[in-house]
Amino acid sequence: MDPAPDPPADLPADLPADLPADLPADLLTGVDHVGIAVPDMDEALAFYADTFGLTCVHEEVNENQGVREAMLAVGAGSTQLQLLAPTSSSSPLAKFLERSGPGLQQLAYRVRDVEHVAAVLRARGLRVLYDEPRAGTAGSRINFVHPKDAGGVLVELVEPAR
């Protein structure tokens, strides 16, 4: 059997041993959703329906994240719009709204294995927020990259439910 190929030269030496050599092309598999902070969910749902004709395809409350969320389908694409409203004053969304007002809060990439991608990004020196993935929309497993390590964008990693 051929020996394993050398890792690309620009990767740090302390990457997990089982990383495929063709990174980063395989790291992110799509844009899962774009998250928008809204102060009032019902108002926002009405605005997006009446203005852009976007319909809500899924709604839930994530108590752990302190958010009420609604996923809106955009045409036949697989990237959805996620409206996020805080359910408590300690929610990250409440802090974001207070500081920045309504608007783009996060960009969420779909991944096949959230632990693996988190390990790669940590090894590249980025702050990944949670030690272990947490529960996300519709049974997904999620983690986040700190916006200060990602060009000012809060990056969410989403491993969809199987």
Q: Which residues bind to ligand KFV, rule: CB under 6 A?
A: 35, 62, 65, 67, 82, 84, 92-93, 95-96, 99, 105-106, 108, 129, 136-137, 140, 142, 144, 146-148, 152, 154, 156
Q: Which is nearer to ligand KFV, 45 or 92 (CB)?
A: 92
- Residue 51 beta carbon to ligand KFV: minimum distance, rounded to whole angstroms: 23
Closer to ligand KFV by CB, 84 or 117: give it.
84
Placement of tokens 């302390």 in the chain: 14
Q: What SS3 class is residue 160?
A: coil
Residue nearest to ligand KFV (CB): 136
Output the smallest distance, CB 74 to ligand KFV, in A.
16
How far apart are the C-alpha atoms of 133 and 129, rounded to whole Å?
9
The nearer residue to ligand KFV, 19 or 54, going by C-beta atoms, is: 54
Residues 6+ apart with CB under 8 A from 95: none
We find the least distance from the C-beta atom of residue 72 to ligand KFV, in angstroms, to be: 13
The residue length of the chain stands at 162
Nearer to ligand KFV, 84 or 111 (CB): 84
Structure token digits, residue 26: 């395989």
Structure tokens, 117: 């991608």
CB-CB contact of 79 with 65 (8 Å): no
139's tokens? 């049974």
